[in-house]
Structure 1
């Protein structure tokens, strides 16, 4: 199960023939995100397990999860943007039902991220899932 926005992203990726174009598209997604407020870049929102600096700030609005994030690496900012399209607007139960690895695989990300980036992506997914678990 994925959000409508994520399905649109999958369609965008289907038109991009090579990995370099997809990589640039992920980076562009990150550049298009609003900046995370500096006061939210604190130890409590920092995601451990990432090679770069990553902060995720989640909140519930009307029973739906919404999160923002920031990173000091362009590709990681793009991955945060992709995760936002995957999860934002879902209920906690819906978040927990998402097979994020499979969904990211639809974008071809699983095959093209370095081991460090893949571990960081897993850490970000786990942070989102932990947030949802606290709300169930």
Structure 2
């Protein structure tokens, strides 16, 4: 499934909810399905800078595709990273680098987050793309 297809799926899922309380609850549920990072990767190098809560992300290349795992000490943040990982994990680094993240605006996520969480969201996207760039250079 392409990144665009996954983003469309997420937009559809979020459009089923009438209000933001339901959407937050859904994000918390998504956080519970997050592919969890192994304890050995919960290191300072894997912490995303610019997040108010702690978010760890680990990436590895498997058969030309990036596989992300993550965790957070905050339930909403865990939901946010779960959405991003669902979108970008198991994709080629070049596709991750080229992908836009307009779907975040379409589901209204950024405008319903506190400024610090919104900054954290931007930092998470940036970090996932940086991993993709690093692995892409290894592939070339």
CA-to-partner distance for each residue in 1:2-21, whole Å, 9 max, x for gaps?
35343322211111111111
Q: Distance in 2 between matches of 1:34 and 1:126?
A: 19
Alignment partner, residue 60 of structure 2:
59
More helix by proportion, 1 or 2?
2
8 Å Cα contact 1:2/1:103 also seen in 2: no
The answer to whether residue 14 in structure 2 is matched with residue 19 in structure 1 is no
Contact 2:48 2:57 in 1 (8 A): yes
Unaligned runs of 5+ in 1: none
Secondary structure class of the residue paired with 1:22: helix
What is the Cα deviation at residue 96 of structure 1? Answer: 0.9
RMSD of aligned alpha carbons: 1.4
Give TM-score, length-normalised by structure 2: 0.89
Paired position in structure 2 for 1:132: 132
Which whole-Å deviations, capped at 9, do the CAs of 1:26-77 have from their partners, x for residues lacking one?
1110012243221110011111110001100011111111101110000000
2:85 equivalent to 1:84: yes
DSSP 3-state at the match of 1:49: coil
> Structure 1 CA distance, aligned partners of 2:8 and 2:89?
13
Q: After the TM superposition, which residues 1-136 of structure 1 pair with which residues of structure 2 at under 5 Å, given as runs? A: 2-100=3-101, 102-136=102-136
- The 1-side partners of 2:133 and 2:75 are apart by 29
Q: Which secondary structure does the structure 2 equivalent of 1:76 belong to?
A: helix
Unpaired runs of 5+ residues, structure 2, are: none
Tell me the TM-score normalised to structure 1 length.
Answer: 0.92
State the number of aligned residues. Answer: 135
Q: Name the SS of the counterpart of 1:44 in structure 2.
A: helix
